[in-house]
């Protein structure tokens, strides 16, 4: 990876965003930039680059230097650890609107996880110098970034705890509820954009155990599954199932 941008692994497929208005709107939709004004966003837009990745493409490996971070415009990436035996352990799955590389960019020690595209994806690459400049000129943005980083670290710890200590079915329910749109609808149609064996690995389950968990939820009439599509019959009921199970009342 060169000092001036993202890694060469992308095959040079890096071009400026063609429409400034489109780029500004994309940045406004990123929670991290809610406290950034129009002038700040214009600064970021001038430095942002579009990066495409193909399905299964490895973007970064552990130890690769990090000169900036990425916002997922569409697609999904997997951040994982590789054991000494060669087993791949997914740590985070990040989809549309999510970010990766922000923590790594600030600690200066390089990527501590492997990063791979799970499907054809598009990212916005934001170089470190543009982010540092924004931090120095906008204290509200600096605080928002600290909150975001703190929240993400806590989320990783919560995931590790849940996927290590919770029963398998609860791990799946927790994962599905995270994918439910926050529109308040009674039902929810979820599309699993990644293979179920990747979901199983993320939840620290075998594919066979994941299949049994889905069958349990189907039998309880909480969900219906057809291929990669999961229908949650009643979001409130599924949430109550998780809460009751956590408290030992179910």
Joined together, the tokens standing for residue 2 give 């060169």
Q: Write the CATH number for 213.
A: 1.10.10.10
Range of the domain at 191: 167-246
Q: Give the whole-angstrom CA distance, residue 57 versus residue 131.
A: 26
Determine contact, residues 132/102, Cβ cutoff 8 Å: no
Same domain, 160 and 193: no
Alpha carbon 138 to chain centroid, angstroms:
26
pTM tops 0.75: no
Residues 159 and 175 occupy one common structural domain: no
157/133 same-domain check = yes
DSSP state of 218: H
Please check whether residue 2 lies inside any domain of the structure: no
Domain boundary among 146, 164, 182: 164
Q: Which pLDDT value is given to residue 1?
A: 32
Q: Is 188 part of a structural domain of the chain?
A: yes
pLDDT at 150 over 80: yes
Percentage with pLDDT > 90 across the chain: 28
Q: Are residue 87 and residue 15 in the same domain, yes or no?
A: yes
Q: Which of 89, 124, 94, 82 is nearest to 194 (CA)?
A: 94
User: Is it the case that residue 4 has pLDDT exceeding 60?
Assistant: no
Same domain, 117 and 198: no
For residues 183 and 133, membership in a common domain is answered with no
Average pLDDT rounded to a whole number, residues 136-150: 84
Query: Does residue 146 sit in the same domain as residue 212?
Result: no
Assign residue 121 the CATH number of its domain: 2.60.120.10
Do 99 and 183 share a domain, yes or no?
no
Identify whether residues 160 and 172 lie together within a single domain: no
Helix axis angle, 139-165 relative to 128-137, nearest 10°?
A: 120
Domain count, the chain: 2
pLDDT above 60: residue 226 = yes
137 is a domain residue: yes
Q: In this structure, is residue 1 part of a structural domain?
A: no
Q: Is residue 176 part of a domain?
A: yes
Share of the chain above pLDDT 70, in %: 90
Specify burial of residue 117 (Cβ count, 10 A radius: 0-12, 13-18, 19+).
buried
Region class of 108: left (phi > 0), else alpha (psi between -120 and 50), else beta: left
Task: Give the mean model confidence (pLDDT) for residues 208-230.
Answer: 93
Asked if residue 99 belongs to a domain, the reply is yes
């Amino acid at each position: 990876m060169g000092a001036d941008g993202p890694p060469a692994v992308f095959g040079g497929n890096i071009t400026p965003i063609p429409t400034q208005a489109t780029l500004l709107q994309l940045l406004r939709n990123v929670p991290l930039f809610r406290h950034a004004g129009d002038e700040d966003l214009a600064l970021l837009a001038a430095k942002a680059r579009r990066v495409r990745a193909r399905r299964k493409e490895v973007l970064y490996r552990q130890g690769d230097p990090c000169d900036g971070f990425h916002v997922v415009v569409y697609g999904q990436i997997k951040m994982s650890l590789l054991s000494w035996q060669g087993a791949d352990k997914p740590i985070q799955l990040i989809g549309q609107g999510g970010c990766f590389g922000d923590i790594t960019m600030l600690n200066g020690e390089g990527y501590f996880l492997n990063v791979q595209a799970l499907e054809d994806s598009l990212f916005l690459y934001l170089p470190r110098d543009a982010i540092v400049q924004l931090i120095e000129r906008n204290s509200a943005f600096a605080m928002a970034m600290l909150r975001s980083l703190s929240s993400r670290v806590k989320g990783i710890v919560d995931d590790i705890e849940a996927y290590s200590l919770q029963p398998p079915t609860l791990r799946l329910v927790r994962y599905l509820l995270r994918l439910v749109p926050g529109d308040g609808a009674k039902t929810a149609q979820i599309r699993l954009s990644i293979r179920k064996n990747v979901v199983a690995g993320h939840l620290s389950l075998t594919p066979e155990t994941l299949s049994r968990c889905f069958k349990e939820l189907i039998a309880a009439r909480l969900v219906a599954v057809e291929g990669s599509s999961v229908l949650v019959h009643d979001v409130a009921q599924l949430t109550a199932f998780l809460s009751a199970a956590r408290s030992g009342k179910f």
